[in-house]
Structure 1
């Protein structure tokens, strides 16, 4: 079940801001610095700064005070970047109207941000762009939520009621806890609230798994003076404190943009400066060593389980078991040249073409052959979480020693554990570290590189 989400609002606001900034520069500034370099500089820094100030992280429950803080933070840093352009490229020259341009950008963008903020509130108060919610808890918490969303209808929430194993004579009582899951699906609920003081830990885990499986939002009503883990963010809906699970890296659009841009640039460099001369040499060597095609392609699971052809350099003799049995130690199918290619991971080089095509990423969980996917899906808990991002040429599990043949159950368990850790803790610098470790491993003898 897909949750209802206003996914286009944030990108649209970003585009509006950039149009306003560029328009002011065009109509007000001196034409001498309305050029590609200045526009690119301003646009890049605006987006870069907004990412770190979280300028566009404005939600339906965001307080106006938070909005002011975001504006001041964004424009303070942006002013330094804006003025630095003239210091670096204009050698400190005072360009005509440069302060007027900045003042107009500040006033126009700020006014537009407040306008959109209040227009959306007005729009939601009319019963549009709403989100449906239910509570697992008790009558007291239910009344607090109902009163909040009734008096603050501009938040855009519809409170359907609550579930509790304790029976209540209330119009908001929807039934016992175990009836909540089917109700949520049948009534297209978007957010699930939970009072942990009224729900036991086992049930809370069950609710959490259900929410994750159905891609819903989970909110926790904290107990007074409680201390919570770093995996939650404390926010306020009116005077009611709410614990919101932190977004995982790949739930953010910017993560996918950063990763894709890096993938394209890195793969292009590798293809142009390495593969352009290396592949012809390897073609001759492979052809002389054994009969068969130069490239080997095999169907594997990609993002969300979508099948794609994964390309490699052929390292085995042509055989009927290629799609059924993975390589093992002293595998007689591996050719002499193939053994070297697999030892050095050179057989994986064509996967940079997969990256350019968008089927793979430089770093991510390694894609398994289909028979392995079918087997491990039933044997390993949370195995399919690996398919929530694009598979990679290399990954955290591979540089941690869990590559190649799966000999015992702990091998695949640890591989999946590290893949999930990567998904939940991704950062650009983690990718760089994994790539650097992969390059280092090229020069050392890895035990499972066969």
Structure 2
């Protein structure tokens, strides 16, 4: 029996849900764009039929490819996977418009189609994943045999099983004894065996016993949970490797998505905020009687030193009222949109540290430099959770670092958008 949160066999339900979302969105977009006042002419009817078939075929291909490589295990990963397919379909559609010079298909139709599909798709995925989990909980109890060593913590492991597995679990615990596996006919009573054992020979013995009794065998490594939390198992024909730290932004597609979204968002923000930025520039120029742009060297991605831009809000330890206001609402950070356009920073990512802080913090934590695997950001996960500004104490430092590393290991476009939205909501509160 599989004990994954969502198994590969569930893929058909999700594919049906996503295709349903795509086709409902297509129909609504068609009916919205073309009506009695602006009917769809017979000349273009065939083109939309062909587009309908192309979109469905492309989506199925994208779906099968993504589920073939790695199947998601919860709604967050399901949503991230769906959003990548959605973006892929959008890019393919945009290329189609370029090739056909946009002559055959309505842009209004396309806008309605893709916005609705993004919304409907995520809602349907949530409904399907919750439904599958509900029925998994309603199935018969799964009999699990937990085999431990004397120094194991069986109660801690049992709590993890009950928390993470979607099936109702009935767990029996025994200490490893080879004679028990050989002499007692206990295999028929269990569907799953979980071993909390380090010794390889013992694990192989348990595996042989599970093979004979047709039982799935899982291994629980309690001491290595912090490592395995982001690890990726890479299988080849002749060897298997464990990549200890999985970094989604190492993948070319994810890099492109991150870069593309940074450029689009930074240009959009610069256009929308340019009047405010110009006003702040003039006010500060009058206040300081010189350029109000403050430049400072910061530590960037892979140790690259770059120049960060901010509005100058302090001089000789003096902070005028307007500058205090700007700092409270993070308005002094707005020039960093230029850093994003230059490619030195990202909209979302770990905040960059001063150069003099790097040596100190590097000695303080062995994983500190991991946060520099990606571009620093204007806002980040640590900041929306309250760990911003000057490092106050060890707890503040450790929590900020933990959030930064978690962001790097779990990056997704959905996560970036969530952080950005929460940042926008927090700014008016001055938090």
TM-score in terms of structure 1 length: 0.48
TM-score in terms of structure 2 length: 0.50
Higher relative CO (Cα under 8 Å, sequence separation at least 6) belongs to: 2
Structure showing the higher helix proportion among its residues: 2
